Structure 1
Amino acid sequence: MSPASERHAERAAAPAVSAVPGAPRAPRRWRWLAAGALLAAALAGGLAWWRAQRAQPPAPGSRELAGMMLDPQLSEISGLAASRRHPGVLWMHDDGGNPERLFAVAENGDRLATARIEGAIKTDWEDMAAFELDGRHYLLIADTGDNGGLRRSLQLHVIEEPDKIENARLKPAWSIAFRWPDGARDCEAVAVDVARRQVLLISKKRQPPELFSLPLMPAGNALQTATRLGELAGIPEPDAQLRQNNPFRARIQGQVTAADVSPDGRTLAVMTYRYLLLYPRQPQQDWAQAVAGAPRVSELPWLPQAEALGWSADGRFLYATGEFIPAPLYRIAP
């Protein structure tokens, strides 16, 4: 007997059963509709629970692996910024020696698109920032790397975020040429304070690191001079054992490689090769006063040459990754 015939015979032999003696049995169609309604209600409840869990603030200091960077084109990432226009998209750029380009990357580390930047020379791009100004969404690219301490002028390029995530060619909305007030220095960390219309820059190799500022939208095209604001306090010092066993690591672990201002403008996040430092700013403080205070310090999760850091658009997480492939992409709760 076929499976269909067996099911027919079983249905014919089975006695009619109703929930209430004597009550008519509900038609099969209505029973299926009722079961479907129950299933839909259960799924809706589960979705509401998941959304509620996601809405809960993460535990301070918690970290999770969001994805892995496996694409060979992402092998020298030195700048990262979360899109303010496209949810779930991270903008990244690679180091000097590569074409002038930005990568749109998903939170799991997959490359979504590549944008070529026209009208901007790439000497040594080292960091980037995302911000919203007058209803428009922008990315600032810092061409500020100077390992040899030889550059007399440096550039910042501001790119408006494109409407779509697709391969494209983009041009700077404006650029800022500037110099340091007292001689060349290496810089791999830039951040934007939109409320003050201010660009913040942090030196890399000098200890303690120095904080500088530039106007976000200077008048005219004249060469700007960065203003020194102060020094960053609280950079952990290597202990004697590390100095003895690994002098190179001891020398570089406190060097600043990235920075970003939180979307609410209250916290400056600073990355070194080993640490994450968070400098809170009180309403009455400027950034010079904020970085002179004690930061919250935590060790970074393992990263191959940690050089890219950026706040999520909602300020709930910091994204962090490094150079080389494969490289983990982390979400870190502040």
Structure 2
Amino acid sequence: MLRSNHPVIRSAGRAMATGLLILAAACTQPVEEERLPEPRLEGVLLDMQLSEVSGLAASRQHEGIVWLHDDGDNPARLFAVNTSGRRVATFGIDGVTKTDWEDIAAFELEGRHYLLLADTGDNGGLRRTLQLHVIEEPGSLTNARLTPAWSLAFRWPDGARDCEAVAVDAERGEILLVSKKREPPELFTLPLRPGSQRLLTARPAGLLAGVPNPTPGPDGGQPSGRSRYDAQVTAASVSPDRLTLAVMTYRHLLLYSREPGANWTSAVESQPATSELPWLPQAEALGWSADGSALYATGEFIPAPLYRIPAQPAD
């Protein structure tokens, strides 16, 4: 997450109105790296309570609903939003301290639908422990209070790092975490259902291959302005069939394929299918559709587009 007072994005508000006017054109402009069919604009987030969205997961229980949450400096809450962008319900989360929520993952375990909330943001590299909270997906879309089914506390093995990308492979019993600012990005794992409440240590599991470099500056020089952050990872999501890990940076979508029976280390160390994201004010949130045919993507600030991005490579 880049804070709203960051000098790189102070002008974002002025650019949003112009950006939305060119959404249709942005969705149809060809990009050199594009290997996926064109994204579709599903809706627009206009509700000011959704102005700092940092995580997205498509509901496995309610058709046409995506779950969103915001990051630090906001209450511990979860939003149910339809794909046109309208907030349907708000759920407070009891029994947790919210520091900096940065991603959300939907998964099924033992016939129940769950959401994992990742309190893993650490812009300053100061946090010694981080938290993950698992809640059961509510059956009714009416404002209510929820309590985690279980929570995990963990630390990194070699010092603090920022992490905004967390995904779940329930069949393997793994939580996947991707670092944000390290080059190349690092993959770590944690057990989804640890046997005790002790402080866990994330296990290194590989380095992500094929993350595009930031756009060079004028005359091929060092990247400047916001392009310096293009390669930073801001979201991740495992497909419902568990064969693809989608990773979002501020500029690109990367799809890492896994052979059945293979681990995620071998997947992320192979070259991904890569496409440039459509226009977003700040790309922060990504999640697979429940049927695995596409991904939903949105960003911080209001207004923000909600895209549906087909997941099958173009011929």
Residue identity opposite 1:174 in structure 2: W
Any gaps of 5 or more consecutive residues in structure 2?
1-34
CA shift, 1:238, in A, is: 2.8
Q: TM-score, normalised by structure 2?
A: 0.86
Tell me which of the two structures has the higher relative contact order, counting C-alpha pairs closer than 8 angstroms and 6 or more residues apart: 2
Aligned match of 1:248 in 220, 225, 238? Answer: 225
**Which residue is 2:179 aligned to?**
203
TM alignment of 1:105-144, pairs within 5 A:
105-144=81-120
In structure 2, the CA distance between the partners of 1:239 and 1:79, relative to structure 1 (3 Å rule), is closer
Match in the other structure for 1:103:
79
Amino acid at match of 1:88: G
CA contact (8 A) 2:36 2:275 kept: no
Match of 1:316 in 2: 293
Match of 1:289 in 2: 266
Structure-to-structure mapping, 1:181-330, within 5 angstroms:
181-241=157-217, 244=221, 246-330=223-307
Deviation at 1:246, TM superposition (A): 5.0
Cα deviation, 1:90-134, whole Å, max 9, x if unaligned, reads: 000001000000000001000000000000110000000001100
Deviation at 1:257, TM superposition (A): 0.1
- After superposition, residues 29-178 of structure 1 pair within 5 angstroms as 60-178=36-154
**Structure 1 residues 220 and 284: alpha-carbon distance in aligned structure 2, compared to 1, 3 A threshold:** closer
Q: Deviations over 1:34-71 (max 9, x none)?
A: xxxxxxxxxxxxxxxxxxxxxxxxx9422100000000
Superposed CA RMSD in Å reads: 1.3
Matched, 1:333 2:281: no
Calculate percent identity across the aligned residue pairs. 67
SS at structure 2 position matched to 1:251: helix
* The structure with more radius of gyration: 1
Secondary structure of residue in 2 paired with 1:155 = strand
Report how many residues are paired: 276
Structure 1 runs of 4+ aligned residues shifted over 3 Å read 239-246
Specify whether residues 246 and 239 from structure 1 end up closer, same or farther in structure 2 by C-alpha distance, changes over 3 A only. Answer: closer
Change (3 A) 1:201 1:288: same
1:21 matched residue in structure 2: none
Q: What is the SS of the residue equivalent to 1:250?
A: helix
- Counterpart Cα distance in 1 of 2:72 and 2:116: 16
TM-score (norm 1): 0.81
Structure 1's unaligned 5+ residue stretches are 1-58
What is the CA-CA distance between 1:195 and the residue it aligns to? 1.1
- AA aligned to 2:207 is E
Residue in 1 that maps onto 2:29: none
Distance 1:237 1:325 in 2: 28
